[in-house]
Amino acid sequence: MLTPFGYFDLMDEMTKTGCPVCNLLVRNTKKMLNTILYEYVTEPETHQMFRASRGLCNVHGWQLTEQSNVMSIAVLYKAVLDEILKDVAKGQSPSKRVRQLFGKKGNDGLVDSLSHNAPCPVCEKNTNFEGSYIAVFSDKLTEEKFASLFQESDGLCLDHFMQSIDRSTSQENTQVLVEMQTIIWERLKFDLSEFVRKYDYNNAHEAIGVEGTSWLRAVRQMSGEKGVFGLRPDTKS
């Protein structure tokens, strides 16, 4: 039987801090952005992709700026602006163009043409990766080694926990996931309570241990890892 995509990666990530699915998506995003800027920036397909999607979504666009290859970013977004300017100018008289740009009636066509007609490519690929990772939890959580690692991990963030439940086709696996995630969250709640208690000046003499990071882990659990969930995964209808 073939090992499903992401199986060993998830097992490795469960030994680290944070939601394992989030961690893999963060890793994948960095790789994708690096590949776009250093390997595919001159490819016509890449330019067409950026033109259609109007660049990357807010989250991934700003992550792109964290890369050091500013020349490649300039080349790609020059193509985006070229497409936008063509759409603004297409079939518009100067007087009508001015009226539309300043929000006068009849500007629906211009707004529609300026909107993206393809999803952010990084969001799109991450959605595919995400589905594959979630599927592993649906199929493998009853395996002893996989379950053991998950039980000792930080668990899934709320969003990925809900996705795993929603996509599960096995009531047994769903029950196992819910039970394990509940234990993980109870553990986190205890750490939060201890952090709050020790933060009180009456208990200032007590050393703060693992509960010292509980507030940050709680944010990760409820919101997911920073930069994972892009803002524009859909296409216009």
Boundary residue ending a domain (61, 89, 121): 121
Check whether 232 has a pLDDT greater than 50: no
Question: Residue 128 domain-assigned?
Answer: no
| Residue 117 sits in the same domain as residue 162 | no
Question: Residue 132 domain-assigned?
Answer: no
Mean pLDDT of the chain: 87
Give the mean pLDDT of 133-142: 88
Q: With bands split at pLDDT 50, 70 and 90, how would you rate the model's confidence at 107? A: low
Q: With bands split at pLDDT 50, 70 and 90, how would you rate the model's confidence at 235? A: very low
| Residue 110 sits in the same domain as residue 26 | yes
Check whether 201 has a pLDDT greater than 90: no
Question: Residue 91 domain-assigned?
Answer: yes
Question: Residue 202 domain-assigned?
Answer: yes
Select from 178, 181, 137, 163 the least CA-distant residue to 228.
Answer: 163
| Predicted TM-score (pTM) of this structure | 0.83
The count of structural domains within the chain is 2
| Residue 77 sits in the same domain as residue 151 | no
pLDDT on residue 203: 81
Q: What is the pLDDT of residues 158-181, one digit of tens each?
A: 999 999 999 888 888 899 999 999
Check whether 236 has a pLDDT greater than 60: no
| Residue 105 sits in the same domain as residue 151 | no
| Residue 100 sits in the same domain as residue 174 | no
| Residue 61 sits in the same domain as residue 149 | no
Give the mean pLDDT of 200-207: 81
Alpha-carbon gap, residue 130 to 138, rounded angstroms: 13
Q: Is the dihedral of CA 34, 19, 124, 84 positive or negative?
A: negative
| Residue 147 sits in the same domain as residue 219 | yes
pLDDT on residue 213: 93
| Residue 193 sits in the same domain as residue 87 | no
pLDDT on residue 106: 56
Alpha-carbon gap, residue 152 to 160, rounded angstroms: 17
Question: Residue 236 domain-assigned?
Answer: no
Boundary residue ending a domain (121, 155, 175): 121
| Residue 90 sits in the same domain as residue 39 | yes
| Residue 176 sits in the same domain as residue 74 | no
Question: Residue 20 domain-assigned?
Answer: yes
pLDDT on residue 233: 46
Question: Residue 92 domain-assigned?
Answer: yes
Give the rounded percent of residues in the chain with a pLDDT score beyond 90. Answer: 65
Q: What is the pLDDT of residues 122-137, one digit of tens each?
A: 999 999 999 999 999 8
Select from 188, 157, 162, 189 the least CA-distant residue to 174.
Answer: 162
| Residue 53 sits in the same domain as residue 106 | yes
| Residue 36 sits in the same domain as residue 84 | yes
First to last CA, the chain: 40
Question: Residue 45 domain-assigned?
Answer: yes
Select from 104, 103, 96, 180 the least CA-distant residue to 143.
Answer: 180
Q: With bands split at pLDDT 50, 70 and 90, how would you rate the model's confidence at 94? A: low
Range of the domain at 187: 143-223
